[in-house]
Amino acid sequence: MSEQSTGHAATAVADGPPSGDMVVVEDLRRTYGSGDTAVHALRGVSFTVPRGELVALKGRSGSGKTTILNLVGGLDSPDGGRITLDGTDLAGLGDDDLLAMRRDRIGFVFQSFGLIPILTAAENVGVPMRLRKVPPREREERVQLLLALVGLADHAAQRPGELSGGQQQRVAIARALANRPVLIIADEPTGQLDADTGLAVMELLRAVVRSEGVTALVATHDAQLLALADRVLELRDGRIVSDT
């Protein structure tokens, strides 16, 4: 854990010593559009994600889950409130620091996998390390290790189209871990998978959160998967209505 949180090149100005929470969200507000057509996607959301935990966001379609993930992941900016990630206030970061934060400290996993079709599984896992200019030898070693971690050591040379949906999502999880992120953000990671495959992928996420000492924030409305979370936050109409 300590290596995870301190071993990174400083990508941003830390606001102070990291607290026990990897993510602190305070009174987050986000409105899309304005006037009569304004959609109040988040109406004052506060929660924390303790280090090393897997926290799930549940709620009906449109309740605000993706909006939260986009804001915590620095893909969008809030209209109000504050997000602190690993001790750093996102609002204090310029574009370059935000980009570096996303690249080096957050791993994203999407419903649609987001793999590059013309690249092999190994090459896809290596992409984030190429962007960070990790030397080829080190990169290849980590790719092998990560593919083994997700049970795909024998599929390194296959392209996404030659893999099942569950295997593709495993590649995406390996890719998300490539740069040793402190936080994994996953938006409906099992949404395109059948129930059994989805459960296996969620169990893998659960396992890597433990083995890699990473923290995860996962949106899902699948009750079976919610049971694997350390904590479940329920959203309704842009507000948290339960925290269990």
Ligand X SMILES: Nc1ncnc2c1ncn2[C@@H]1O[C@H](COP(=O)(O)OP(=O)(O)OP(=O)(O)O)[C@@H](O)[C@H]1O
> Does 59 contact ligand X by CB under 6 A?
yes
| Smallest distance from ligand X to CB 225, Å | 14
CB 34 within 8 A of CB 71: no
> Does 39 contact ligand X by CB under 6 A?
yes
> Does 220 contact ligand X by CB under 6 A?
no
CA distance 186 to 73: 10
| Smallest distance from ligand X to CB 8, Å | 29
CB 169 within 8 A of CB 189: yes
Position among 10, 13, 14, 32 found at the interface with ligand X (CB under 6 A): 32
CA distance 32 to 99: 23
CB 192 within 8 A of CB 170: no
> Does 77 contact ligand X by CB under 6 A?
no
Q: Identify which of residues 11 and 63 has a Cβ nearer to ligand X in the complex.
A: 63
| Smallest distance from ligand X to CB 131, Å | 26
Window of 16-24, 32-40, 83-91, 132-140 that interacts with ligand X by CB under 6 A = 32-40
Query: 165-176 and 121-131 helices cross at what angle (nearest 10)?
Result: 20
The contacts of residue 99 (CB under 8 Å, 6+ apart) are none
Residue ranges that bind ligand X, judged by CB under 6 A: 32-33, 39, 41, 59, 61-67
